[in-house]
Structure 1
Amino acid sequence: MRQRARTYRRRGAGIVAVTLATLSAAVLTACDSSSQQGGRPGSASSRPTPSPSPTPPWDRTPRSLAAVGDSITRGFDACSLFTDCPEVSWATGTDTRVNSLALRLLGPAGAAARSWNHARSGADVADLPAQMALAAAHKPELVTVMVGANDACADTMERMTPVETFRASFEASMSRLRKDAPKAQVYVSSVPDLKRLWSTGRADPVGSQIWKLGICASMLGEAEDDSLSAQQRRDAVRQRIVAYNEVLEDVCAEDDRCRYDGGAVFDYRFSGQQLSRWDWFHPSRDGQERLAEIAYRNVTAAKPPAGRPAGQADGGAR
């Protein structure tokens, strides 16, 4: 019996020793895990959490550029009457006085080899998807967009592009670019304030005569008419442009690689020196230079410009 008791005591001691060793190892493992994860064993803070997908950073030094849009980007009426002058384009021009966005970003050699202008005089937003396809074929690192003036510049107010149609065309343009050039960045310029251009050019006898040829009749037609109906017409055209700019801002905001100018071009007060001396409507060389400055400042800024809250645009010139 004594021998059997001694045997049980030895077995019991062994079991206790193994149990203590197991518990010690478990405690050490838990402490080690806690120290590595910065939290207590079993706490919620010790559990790893997935990191959110990072937003692609904006490249402030793109190495190629394609431009789409209308006559402003083609430099229309900046060099001679009723003629495109792409060498003074704010986006891709080679004129050193204008110092286009392409020249500022790429230098003369880079601008000549790696910038393309697919804008077309007379184009409206319905033409933009096809232009985007041409631009995307180059696989540019940056695409500039300036469109919408011709959508507001109709023969009559009723023929202005409806806002929802404008949105659909711009969304289709962005989709086409993303399909063919998914990594391209996009800089979107706001539509200029055409009412301010009317206010600036209406006093010039040459400009007012040129306008009678049919340039932007919805805004510039009967430029000297100050009747209530004429004022209401101009205000309605201006509000349509404000709505277009809201669309450009909204659609751009849905794309991680798109930057809207915050209404900078719409807000810019073009003087007579910055308007074409042939039509007092399109930018002159000086006006193209101002557009290039605005674009370069916004493209190279660390953060995108803050946009004007919807519906808060000022009343414009009268």
Structure 2
Amino acid sequence: MRGWSLLLAGLVLLVIACDGAAGATPERSPQDKSSMAALGDSITNAFASCLAPSPCPRNSWSTGDGTKVSSHYRRLLADNPGLRGGNHNLAAANARADALAGQASAAVRTGARYVTVLIGADDACRGGLADMTPVETFRRQVDAALAVLHDGLPGARVLVVSVPDINRLWEIGHTNRLAVKAWSFGLCPALLADPGSTAAAAVQRRRAFAERVDAYNTQLAAACRAYGPRCRDDGGAAHRVRFTLDMVTAQDFFHPNAAGQQALADATWPGQPTW
């Protein structure tokens, strides 16, 4: 009788355990949850847009979840509540195209279904003209990152965004005393060094800088076409944004503030990513 009692008790415990398992909600992996990821540099992590000289991803044009910017994430969330909390900003300050593959690998781990890519400003701004990332190298590094996404997230939609018109910052700020002071600490010297100079060498340096950014944008669009139908480029929309001084941060007169981030979000929004 004691043996039968133990067997019966074991069966009861087994039934309870099975009922409990059936009624529980299993923890979902990142791949089961709708998510998006942003790759890039300090523009996308919204550096200094919260006053402090540090990243402020809640104001990002791409993944921001704050109230000041109607980001791509917030627009997608309005139609897809399952996306809540699935916004992954993997962009890093000073990131160049050679960092993009690592960010893409991180995006694969999130299981992102929508990925934005904005890269190139730091490749142009890394030093003097001779220090800028060669166009061929830039393309190779972008292709490597997109290959990681293509292999690791074959169902994801990818948006490749053009590098904003950085020369526009010189145009609107080179006569502003505060902007010139901020740039004097070495910010983007290939463009912003000696901003008041009208010497032929300075004019040519700024022209060469603009041409390099244009070349990067040409390669970004071409890399996206090579990726296949699940990649879309912005058609130069970000590059066409006409920044004003009230759209950049007062700390460096370079990075977009919340208003600048909003302008980027508006210009680059592709609609629901169903391509």
Q: TM-score, normalised by structure 1?
A: 0.73
Is the counterpart of residue 220 in structure 1 residue 192 in structure 2? yes
Alpha-carbon distance between aligned partners in 2 of 1:220 and 1:299, rounded to the nearest angstrom: 35
- Preserved CA contact (<8 Å) 2:157 2:273: no
- Map residues 1-318 of structure 1 onto 2, 5 A cutoff: 63-107=34-78, 110=82, 112-254=84-226, 255-296=228-269, 298-300=270-272
RCO (CA 8 Å, sep 6+): is it higher in 1 or 2? Answer: 2
- Report the Cα distance in structure 1 between the residues aligned to 2:99 and 2:123, rounded to whole angstroms: 11
Q: 1:201·1:281 contact (CA, 8 Å) conserved in 2?
A: no
Inter-partner Cα distance in structure 1 for 2:190 and 2:168: 14
Cα distance in 1 between the residues matched to 2:92 and 2:240: 24
Measured after TM superposition, the shift of residue 109 of structure 1 is 5.7
SS at match of 1:137: helix
SS in 1 for 2:116: strand
Supply the distance in 1 between the matched residues of 2:157 and 2:174 (Cα, whole angstroms): 38
Q: Provide the C-alpha distance between the structure 1 equivalents of 2:116 and 2:158, rounded to a whole number of angstroms.
A: 6
Superposition CA RMSD, Å: 1.8
TM superposition shift of 1:129: 0.2
Give 1:277 shift. 1.4
After superposition, the C-alpha distances for 1:208-261 in whole angstroms (9 at most, x for unaligned) are 101011110100111111111101000001100000000000010122100000
Q: Please tell me the residue identity of whatever aligns with 1:282.
A: H
- Alpha-carbon distance between aligned partners in 2 of 1:245 and 1:165, rounded to the nearest angstrom: 14
- 1:70–1:146 contact (8 Å) kept in structure 2: yes
Shift of 1:202: 1.5
Q: 1:123, CA displacement in angstroms?
A: 0.2
- Which sits farther off after the overlay, 168-177 or 103-112? 103-112
Runs of 4+ deviating beyond 3 Å: 107-112, 299-303
Q: CA deviation at 1:140?
A: 1.2
Normalised by the size of structure 2, how large is the TM-score? 0.84
Distance 2:41 2:253 in 1: 17
* % identity of equivalent residues: 38
3-state SS of paired residue (1:113): coil
CA 1:113–1:224: 2 relative to 1, 3 Å: same
Q: How far off is 1:280 after superposition?
A: 1.0
SS in 2 for 1:186: strand
